[in-house]
């Protein structure tokens, strides 16, 4: 079964009297274990696509299915639940809380389930180890490098054990060597953990780390290409 599916999705934004069609009939499905790059020029609808996929934004028409459930047909509470438990987000500027330590940042999504912070600590530290940050658990964001901040954010995206990770330009604020390590980590999360990872990028080198490249232009999907199944050598 597809983890996430879009069926003929249109998303219009109303700005004053103008209507902007950010997505123009996109049909697309992602499966577990697949690392997908979403490419295209600025303004082509990449971020809108990611937000709609993750249930952060609703289409004007068309359907979004998560675990086979149509998001337009569930209640707001169910949508919030699905979004929190099935999808993890990673952002270009990390979006970490500056006053919290690395492990506390990783633990934050669990607090909304009423789990006490101290009980999540072990899991958070294990995830920091997983992303190569053992020994940095007590560091605050100001005490970490850009690549390390993105690793903390990736650990946080995994803490609810979601089937899908959605990343919007996760290497956009990193130098190319640091960015490559982040791409390796995301590929591992797709292939070893069998999650679906969808990454927006306008960097062709970043796309080459993935299994599949889809390209948007003016809100339309103009390319959908499966690369080497095994990923890069």
Ligand X SMILES: Nc1ncnc2c1ncn2[C@@H]1O[C@H](COP(=O)(O)OP(=O)(O)O)[C@@H](O)[C@H]1O
Q: Which residues would be at the binding site for ligand X (CB under 6 A)?
A: 13, 15, 20, 22, 40, 42-48
**C-beta of 38 vs 190, nearer to Mg ion:** 38
CB of 40 to ligand X, least distance (A): 6
**C-beta of 87 vs 155, nearer to ligand X:** 87
How many other CB atoms are found less than 10 A from the CB of residue 218?
A: 14
Residue 201 touches which member of Mg ion, ligand X, none, C-beta under 5-8 Å by kind: none
Using CB under 5 A, which of 34, 47, 101, 148 touches Mg ion? 47
Paired tokens of 161: 């054990």
* DSSP letter assigned to residue 228: -
Residue 15 touches which member of ligand X, Mg ion, none, C-beta under 5-8 Å by kind: ligand X
CB of 46 to Mg ion, least distance (A): 5
**Helix (H) or strand (E) run with residue 114 in it:** none
**C-beta of 136 vs 212, nearer to ligand X:** 212
CB of 22 to Mg ion, least distance (A): 10
CB of 215 to ligand X, least distance (A): 11
Closest CA to 203 of 4, 40, 92, 45: 40
Residue 59 touches which member of Mg ion, ligand X, none, C-beta under 5-8 Å by kind: none
| 39 binding Mg ion? (CB under 5 A) | no
**C-beta of 11 vs 46, nearer to Mg ion:** 46
Alpha-carbon distance of 51 to 219, in angstroms, equals 14
CA R_g for the chain = 17
Alpha-carbon distance of 28 to 3, in angstroms, equals 11
CB of 122 to Mg ion, least distance (A): 36
**C-beta of 45 vs 147, nearer to Mg ion:** 45
Residue 20 touches which member of ligand X, Mg ion, none, C-beta under 5-8 Å by kind: ligand X
Closest CA to 175 of 201, 197, 145, 195: 145
Residue 158 touches which member of ligand X, Mg ion, none, C-beta under 5-8 Å by kind: none
**Strand arrangement, sheet containing 164-168:** 87-90, 164-168, 196-200, 35-39, 212-217, 220-226
CB of 44 to ligand X, least distance (A): 4
Contacts of 2 (CB under 8 A, 6+ apart): 29, 30, 31, 65, 68
How many other CB atoms are found less than 10 A from the CB of residue 38?
A: 28
Paired tokens of 198: 């969808």
Residues within the interface to Mg ion (CB under 5 A):
46-47
């Amino acid at each position: 079964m597809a983890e996430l599916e879009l069926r003929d999705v249109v998303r219009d934004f109303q700005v004053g009297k103008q209507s902007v069609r950010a997505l123009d009939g996109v049909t697309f499905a992602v499966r577990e274990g697949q690392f997908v790059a979403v490419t295209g020029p600025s303004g082509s609808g990449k971020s809108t696509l990611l937000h709609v996929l993750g249930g952060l934004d609703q289409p004007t028409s068309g359907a979004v299915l998560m675990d086979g459930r149509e998001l337009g047909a569930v209640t707001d509470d169910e949508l919030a639940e699905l979004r929190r438990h099935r999808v993890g987000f990673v952002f270009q500027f990390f979006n970490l809380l500056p006053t919290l330590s690395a492990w506390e940042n990783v633990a934050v999504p669990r607090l909304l389930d009423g789990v006490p912070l101290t009980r999540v600590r072990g899991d958070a530290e294990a995830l920091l180890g997983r992303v190569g940050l053992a020994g940095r658990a007590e560091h605050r964001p100001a005490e970490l490098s850009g690549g390390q901040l993105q690793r903390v954010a990736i650990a946080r995206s995994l803490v609810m054990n979601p089937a899908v990770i959605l990343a919007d330009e996760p290497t956009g604020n990193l130098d190319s060597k640091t960015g490559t390590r982040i791409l390796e980590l995301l590929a591992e999360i797709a292939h070893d953990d069998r999650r679906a990872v969808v990454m927006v990028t306008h960097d062709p080198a970043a796309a080459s780390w993935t299994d599949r490249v889809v390209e948007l232009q003016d809100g339309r999907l103009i390319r959908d290409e499966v690369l080497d199944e095994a990923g890069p050598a």
